[in-house]
Amino acid sequence: MERQRVCVLGSTGSIGVSTLDVIARHQDRYEVFALTAHSQVHKLADQCEQFRPEVVVVGSAAAASELQLLLTEKKLSTEIAYGPAALCAVASASRCDVVMAAIVGAAGLPASLAAAIAGKKVLLANKEALVMSGQLFIDAIEKSGAVLLPIDSEHNAIFQCLPRPYSRRPSAHGIHKIILTASGGPFLHRDIATLDHVTPAEAVAHPNWVMGRKISVDSATMMNKGLEVIEAHWLFATPAEQIEVLIHPQSVIHSMVSYQDGSVLAQLGNPDMRTPIAYGLAYPDRIDSGVVPLDLAKVMQLDFHAPDFSRFPCLSLAYSALKTGRSAPTILNASNEVAVQAFLDGKIGFRMIDRIIARVMDRLPISAVPDMGAILDCDLETRALTNEIISA
Ligand code: NAD
Ligand code: MG
């Protein structure tokens, strides 16, 4: 079997590191074509030593020269590039077969979309890219014939619970509902009155998953689940009314599909992203991911309850953005990214995140976003207004 050449966008992040862990277990199946990181050059240099990519991409000229010194010390002659255009170039290169899209936030959109347009096998972790660009992204996938495999654990679970051969037409599947499970994050039971005073450290301390800082805060506000509702809408061509969120604190059932005949299919496993990553890499095969097998006798109990929308206003904001459509999800995503960063920087309190997003959504007119230019304009305009509201 010829080895597949993989480009890992965001290789120094939580998903990037887990991806390389799975690849390291299957060097007979995969080789690393490219690695990219924004600024963590030491970690990237170590990854270059282990995985010997052809190309690496970093965020700036300064990071590129720093990396060059480290690679020279290691006697590696890896090609080094920097900046957004270089990210798109590696994601669409003819020498690349598979792209793991694991950059966090809107910054990942151009390269994720470039992989889709180039017809790659796209493993999508970068949910913000799909939330921002929705129809445009799906159109690109369908036009190029790219294979889009969801890596987000919920969507990967749903994908596993759908019939084969897979088609994006929900009517072909007899789906009643898609049920996205959610842990509820670190503040599921915390007194709402004290939420104004939680610190970034408390917000990123997720009970079940170890993840990057942005998605960890999103899990605490449940905007993460909101973004996932929008993600599910695009991935599985399912309307908002048929996508339900269910709190399941143990994070053992990663999501479910409820069918019209009364059957409900679920995918279970220990909460470790290497399972969906391995599934995406090897699909339709199954390979060892390094994840410990699930022992239900040890888990003992699986709990479920409906989410409390008053505790998690971000969830309502996301549903309403999806129902409004057009530029609303792009605005939701951009204002959330700016507000979360401001919270992590200590500029605003936790509860200000949802209040600021709501204010931005109220103030900006909703428009059509037919192309990348319109999406990026909307993203920039939203960031400017969000920053203005934060500094007011
Ligand atoms: P992370 O913060 O750990 O890593 C982010 C990666 O993106 C890093 O490699 C960083 O160098 C790179 N990056 C950051 N800003 C960049 C920029 N401006 N330009 C280029 N590269 C940049 O994040 P993560 O937790 O690995 O999440 C990555 C993506 O996967 C997110 O979209 C997240 O929502 C999604 N996701 C993550 C998990 C998880 O368990 N961590 C689960 C599901 C989905
Ligand atoms: Mg998820």
pLDDT in tens, 291-320: 999 999 999 899 999 999 999 999 999 999
Q: Is 129 in the pocket of ligand 1 (CB under 6 A)?
A: no
End residue of a domain, out of 105, 134, 150: 150
For 106-144, what is each residue's pLDDT tens digit? 999 999 999 999 999 999 999 999 999 999 999 999 999
The pair of three-digit structure tokens given for residue 154, joined into one six-digit string: 């919920």
CA 252 to ligand 2 center in whole angstroms: 12
Domain presence at residue 333: yes
Contact 381, 366 (CB under 8 A): no
Domain presence at residue 285: no
| Residue 368 belongs to domain spanning | 325-392
Domain presence at residue 167: yes
CATH of the domain at 84: 3.40.50.720
Look at residue 207 in the predicted model and tell me its pLDDT: 86
CA nearest neighbour of 132 among 114, 151, 109: 109
- Paired with 218 in beta bridges are none
End residue of a domain, out of 97, 122, 150: 150
Domain presence at residue 318: no
Q: In the predicted model, is pLDDT for residue 170 greater than 80?
A: no
Look at residue 82 in the predicted model and tell me its pLDDT: 98
CA nearest neighbour of 371 among 361, 363, 379: 379
Give the whole-number percent of the chain exceeding pLDDT 70.
99
For residues 244 and 177, membership in a common domain is answered with yes
CATH of the domain at 356: 1.10.1740.10
With cut-offs at 50, 70 and 90, classify the pLDDT of residue 206. confident
Look at residue 86 in the predicted model and tell me its pLDDT: 98
Mutate to test the pocket of ligand 1, among 7, 15, 152 (most ligand atoms within 8 A of CB): 15
- The number of folded domains in the chain is 3
For residues 236 and 143, membership in a common domain is answered with no
End residue of a domain, out of 124, 150, 176: 150
Average pLDDT over residues 265-290: 98
The protein residue whose alpha carbon is closest to atom 23 in ligand 1 is 212
Strands in 68-164 per DSSP E: 79-82, 98-101, 121-124, 147-150
Domain presence at residue 264: yes
Contact 221, 354 (CB under 8 A): yes
Distance in angstroms (rounded) separating the CA atoms of residues 317 and 339: 14
CA 211 to ligand 1 center in whole angstroms: 9
Q: Is 224 in the pocket of ligand 1 (CB under 6 A)?
A: no
- Paired with 121 in beta bridges are 98, 147
Q: Is 13 in the pocket of ligand 1 (CB under 6 A)?
A: yes
For 19-75, what is each residue's pLDDT tens digit? 999 999 999 999 999 999 999 999 999 999 999 999 999 999 999 999 999 999 999
For residues 10 and 127, membership in a common domain is answered with yes
What type of residue is 357? I
Distance in angstroms (rounded) separating the CA atoms of residues 25 and 22: 5
For residues 159 and 220, membership in a common domain is answered with yes
For residues 143 and 163, membership in a common domain is answered with no
In a 3-state reduction of DSSP, which class is residue 264?
strand
Look at residue 318 in the predicted model and tell me its pLDDT: 98
Ligand 1 atom index nearest CA of 105: 32
Q: Is 249 in the pocket of ligand 1 (CB under 6 A)?
A: no
For residues 45 and 135, membership in a common domain is answered with yes
The pTM of this model reads 0.98
**Nearest ligand by distance to the CA of 276:** 1
Q: Is 131 in the pocket of ligand 1 (CB under 6 A)?
A: no
For 358-377, what is each residue's pLDDT tens digit? 999 999 999 999 999 999 99
CA 108 to ligand 1 center in whole angstroms: 9
CA 292 to chain centre: 23
Give the whole-number percent of the chain exceeding pLDDT 90.
95
For residues 178 and 236, membership in a common domain is answered with yes
With vertex at residue 298, the alpha carbon angle to CA 296 and CA 303, rounded to the nearest 5 degrees, is 65
CA 148 to ligand 2 center in whole angstroms: 16
Domain presence at residue 276: no
For residues 16 and 143, membership in a common domain is answered with yes
